[in-house]
């Protein structure tokens, strides 16, 4: 009798839907997600790091890296709302849960580095052009300045009277 019941259970389990749900691949609607950074847009200005109330974000300009400690993040979105380049967003993709406090570090992309270098070069050229224009203007102003008063003309020398010895 027990074998019949067991076989029934096996057959039922073989042909019925699983009782468990598959892991969600996206967070359900209404959740805040997690912070993601598009390193093609980030200019490492550091504003997100200043605004973060839990100091979860670190920006290293020398190393050109942006880091976040996900376990310190409270998903307040303050960094996302203050990013001037709109490179931050609240990602809704499912992430594997972790048990360790890790720091995730991302390097500034080659594209962003090239864009930043081009901007700096353009700014330097503009500053140099402005300085040259200012110097030229100053030189021109110096040339047009009123000439120094000329020294008073000396009276013509009177010729000594010629003596007639006749």
* Residues engaged in binding ligand SF4 (CB under 6 A): 35, 37, 42-48, 51-54, 56-57, 59, 66, 68, 73-79, 83, 85, 87-88
Q: Please say which residue, 25 or 32, places its beta carbon nearer to ligand SF4.
A: 32
Q: What is the rounded distance in angstroms from the CA atom of residue 117 to the CA atom of residue 126?
A: 14
Structure tokens at 114: 């090239």
Q: How far is the CB of 125 from ligand SF4 (least distance, A)?
A: 24
Q: What is the rounded distance in angstroms from the CA atom of residue 34 to the CA atom of residue 111?
A: 24
Taking alpha carbons only, the member of 4, 70, 5 closest to residue 34 is 70
Q: Please say which residue, 110 or 125, places its beta carbon nearer to ligand SF4.
A: 110
Q: How far is the CB of 100 from ligand SF4 (least distance, A)?
A: 18
Q: Give the DSSP H or E segment for 80.
A: helix 78-82
Q: From the CB of residue 52, how many other CB atoms can be counted at a distance below 10 Å?
A: 21
Q: How far is the CB of 48 from ligand SF4 (least distance, A)?
A: 3
Q: How far is the CB of 127 from ligand SF4 (least distance, A)?
A: 23
Q: Please say which residue, 47 or 92, places its beta carbon nearer to ligand SF4.
A: 47
Q: Please say which residue, 71 or 139, places its beta carbon nearer to ligand SF4.
A: 71
Taking alpha carbons only, the member of 39, 59, 43 closest to residue 103 is 59
């Amino acid at each position: 009798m027990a074998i019949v019941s067991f076989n029934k259970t096996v057959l039922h389990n073989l042909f019925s839907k699983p009782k468990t749900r598959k892991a969600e691949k996206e967070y359900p609607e209404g959740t805040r997600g997690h912070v993601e950074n598009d390193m093609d847009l980030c200019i490492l200005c550091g504003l997100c790091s200043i605004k973060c109330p839990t100091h979860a974000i670190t920006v290293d300009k020398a190393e050109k890296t942006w880091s976040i400690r996900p376990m310190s993040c409270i998903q307040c979105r303050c960094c996302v709302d203050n990013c001037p380049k709109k490179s931050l967003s609240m990602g809704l993709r499912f992430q594997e849960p972790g048990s360790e406090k890790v720091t995730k570090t991302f390097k500034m992309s080659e594209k962003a580095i090239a864009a930043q270098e081009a901007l700096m070069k353009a700014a330097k050229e503009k500053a140099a052009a402005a300085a040259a224009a200012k110097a030229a203007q100053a030189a021109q102003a110096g040339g047009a300045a009123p000439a120094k008063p000329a020294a008073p003309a000396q009276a013509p020398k009177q010729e000594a009277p010629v003596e007639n010895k006749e």
